[in-house]
Structure 1
Amino acid sequence: MMASGIFKTHGRTLFAWGVFAILMGIFLSVHPRGATLGVFTTWSNQCAALALLAVGQTIVVLSKGIDLSIGPIMALTNCIASHLVNGSPTEVALGVVIVIATGAACGLINGLVVVVGKLQAIIATLATGAIFTGLALLVRPIPGGDISIGLSDAMTMDVFGVVPSAVLVMLGAVALWYPIRRHPIGRSIIAVGSSEAAAEASGLNVARAKIAAYTLGGVFAALGGLFIGFQTLSGDPSIGLTYTLNSIAAVVIGGTMLTGGAGSVVGSIAGALVLRTIGSLIFFIGLQPLAQPLFEGTVLLIAVSFGATRLLKIKNRMEVFQ
């Protein structure tokens, strides 16, 4: 009974991790170097930025929203990081703070446009995403810049030769979200996504919850932009679109309901790992790189199909599997 209850509550998250485990096993079996720390480090570095974006997108989706600007926010903050996250330790620390604050400000703007402007989230964030992309091009017209090598090594290498730093980054994203989820603002985000009318009738501040969700989404997008900078030691204004689409795909694969109110950041991270592992598999088994969207689209279609089936069965929209 206990096992069936766990599967009922966390079934879609467990399914996403199960798919990832199968893909990871295949990947390690075809990789020339096998299951070595170096292989895990390279692979996790490729996954971390998308995982961070997926967490941010999940928080927005939990509030019954969508953020099409999350990729452009990542690109903008990545470009800003290529100017500011270098120099002395104090300058690096200040640069990191400014980058994260910029992401939060972009998310706040999204929230205000959606809530105060009363625009559909998909339209509002599509428009703000274009603005953020333009700003990224102004900050860094072509890829380049400089980011602290010391901080980059710390974030993209391994810890004591035991675990890749990027794995700890992804675990840190989960650790950052769960205290927020248990805070009244986190509970409000989920309640608003489940039923806005019921949340308002319960005395919750619906507008504040929605704005907070978009702001948090911007923070995680900035963290993703920072991590891309740690990988490349530069900024690139053109990286936004692909990451936006993949963040939504990761959310769906991870089991979060696009209708809001139910989902899991842990599942969304699994979705990000699935997408990145598919890309790695395509490379190592010798398929054409252009086949990657086909495989990713197939996985996404399967996930959406499961999501539609699950939605028809939900009776209580307050059900949340975290």
Structure 2
Amino acid sequence: MRLAKRLHSAALRNRAFLGALLLFAVFYLVYHMLHPRGFSSAVLIQNTNESVAIVFVAMAQTLPVLTGGLDLSVGAVMTLTNCIASELLTGTPAEMLFGALLTLACGAAFGCVNGLIVVYGRIQPIITTLATGAVAIGLALLIRPRPGGEVDDDLSWAMTNTVFDFAETYGLAEGGEAAWLQPFAAIPVPLLIVLAVVLFIWLPFRNTQMGRTVYAVGSAEGAAYMSGLPVERAKIAAFTLAGLFAACAGLYLAIQTSSGNADVTQAGAYTLNSIAAVVLGGTSLYGGVGGAIGSLVGALILRVISFYFRILAIDPLLQPLIEGVVLLGAVSLGALRTLRVKNRLELFR
């Protein structure tokens, strides 16, 4: 009886996330039912490859939103790190590893600068990141005036296919007979990359004092400050981690496409989609509620909708209209709270 009450209470607290998860499951199931090739490894690999970048950008947007702000530079940081990675992911394995780490460090550093300006410059996050996003795009254009770059072919193939392909590329498969490989051979590597980031970066951070402070700042910044919590450090940490996640998106995009591209339109589209994904995943735009895993699910919902365009042969001229309606509906969900509030002062808590 007590367990049932706990489960019921947990379901009520996470009803937005559970709703998003159910919506994704339904959308993805119907998609596979309509797809000419149905459930297949090739379709799953294609889907995961197309989803990784938006998933990471949505996770990046989650951290500033949890503090009660918005980061309009996540798409630009992704674009900047994509261009940086396109210059560095070549050479020996050690050189490529160094290039990948440097790319991630650049993204984290850019996010840290955002946080420092917000905290010590006392400028609203939406204004700060609008400006720094333009700076990021300018740097990306300096690095990569036109699309191109050199990314190691083996790395690109291994990181965008199955575990078997990864092991075979680097001589770990033993002719496909390696016992350790059999249970995991068909799993897409991009899926494992996302899981690794969630398990080793997001969850540990969420359970630290700094992570809990991020939630406290979003819920009631004044109360968090009066309680002695490190409010300023939490904001800087949130924006730094946002930059790191955006860099993960840019790094993977370089590996996937084997190139870099300072595409302003793409940066803006990813930023807007990240906000919609955050809201769809159950994170409140008022801050303090939600998490990166929910945003991950929200991003997958948006990506599955785009998958339908291919199999239903929807007119390309109508696709922006449909995406716009979906995005508008998703962002509007964040305003539903105002309809349930009787005392307007509660909106500022």
Check the 8 A contact 1:60/1:66 in 2, yes or no. Answer: yes
Which residue number in structure 1 is paired with residue 240 of structure 2?
215
Q: What code does the residue aligned with 1:65 have?
A: G
- The equivalent position to 1:170 in structure 2, one of 194, 198, 212, is 194
- The equivalent position to 1:285 in structure 2, one of 295, 312, 319, is 312
Cα drift, residue 103 of structure 1? 0.1
Cα drift, residue 313 of structure 1? 5.2
Cα drift, residue 142 of structure 1? 0.7
Which residue number in structure 1 is paired with residue 71 of structure 2?
67
* Identical counterparts, % of pairs: 48
Cα drift, residue 312 of structure 1? 5.6
Q: What code does the residue aligned with 2:293 have?
A: V
Alpha-carbon distance in 2 for matches of 1:214, 1:153: 32
Cα drift, residue 204 of structure 1? 1.1
User: What do you get for the CA RMSD once the two structures are aligned?
Assistant: 1.7
Unaligned 5+ segments in structure 1 are: 318-322
Using structure 1 for the length normalisation, give the TM-score. 0.93
- CA 1:146–1:102 in 2, change beyond 3 Å: closer, same or farther? same
Alpha-carbon distance in 2 for matches of 1:68, 1:61: 11
- The equivalences for 1:133-282 within 5 A come to 133-160=137-164, 161-175=185-199, 176-238=201-263, 239-282=266-309
- CA 1:82–1:88 in 2, change beyond 3 Å: closer, same or farther? same
Q: 1:73-113 CA deviation, whole Å, 9 max, x = no partner?
A: 00000000000111101110110111001001110111111
Which residue number in structure 1 is paired with residue 127 of structure 2?
123
Alpha-carbon distance in 2 for matches of 1:226, 1:185: 26
Alpha-carbon distance in 1 for matches of 2:9, 2:86: 48
Cα drift, residue 311 of structure 1? 5.7
Which residue number in structure 2 is paired with residue 320 of structure 1?
none
SS of the counterpart of 1:289? coil
Q: What code does the residue aligned with 1:273 have?
A: L
Check the 8 A contact 1:278/1:295 in 2, yes or no. Answer: no
Q: What count of residue pairs does the alignment treat as equivalent?
A: 316
Cα drift, residue 49 of structure 1? 0.8
Check the 8 A contact 2:80/2:137 in 1, yes or no. Answer: yes
Which residue number in structure 1 is paired with residue 327 of structure 2?
300
Alpha-carbon distance in 1 for matches of 2:80, 2:329: 32
Check the 8 A contact 2:89/2:152 in 1, yes or no. Answer: yes
Cα drift, residue 293 of structure 1? 3.2
Which residue number in structure 2 is paired with residue 17 of structure 1?
21
Check the 8 A contact 1:255/1:303 in 2, yes or no. Answer: no
Cα drift, residue 118 of structure 1? 0.9
Alpha-carbon distance in 2 for matches of 1:27, 1:240: 27
Which residue number in structure 1 is paired with residue 179 of structure 2?
none
Alpha-carbon distance in 1 for matches of 2:286, 2:225: 18
SS of the counterpart of 2:335? helix
Structure 2 residue 117 is matched with structure 1 residue 113: yes
Unaligned 5+ segments in structure 2 are: 165-184
Check the 8 A contact 1:152/1:231 in 2, yes or no. Answer: yes
Q: What code does the residue aligned with 1:190 have?
A: Y
Q: What code does the residue aligned with 1:169 have?
A: I
Q: What code does the residue aligned with 2:98 have?
A: L
Alpha-carbon distance in 2 for matches of 1:135, 1:168: 31
SS of the counterpart of 2:190? helix
Check the 8 A contact 2:31/2:308 in 1, yes or no. Answer: yes
Q: 1:169-221 CA deviation, whole Å, 9 max, x = no partner?
A: 22223212011011111111111111110110010121111111000000000
Using structure 2 for the length normalisation, give the TM-score. 0.86
Check the 8 A contact 1:252/1:300 in 2, yes or no. Answer: no
- The equivalences for 1:302-321 within 5 A come to 302-310=329-337
* Rg larger in structure: 2
Deviates more, 1:181-190 or 1:125-134: 181-190
- CA 1:311–1:230 in 2, change beyond 3 Å: closer, same or farther? farther
SS of the counterpart of 2:210? helix
Which residue number in structure 1 is paired with residue 176 of structure 2?
none
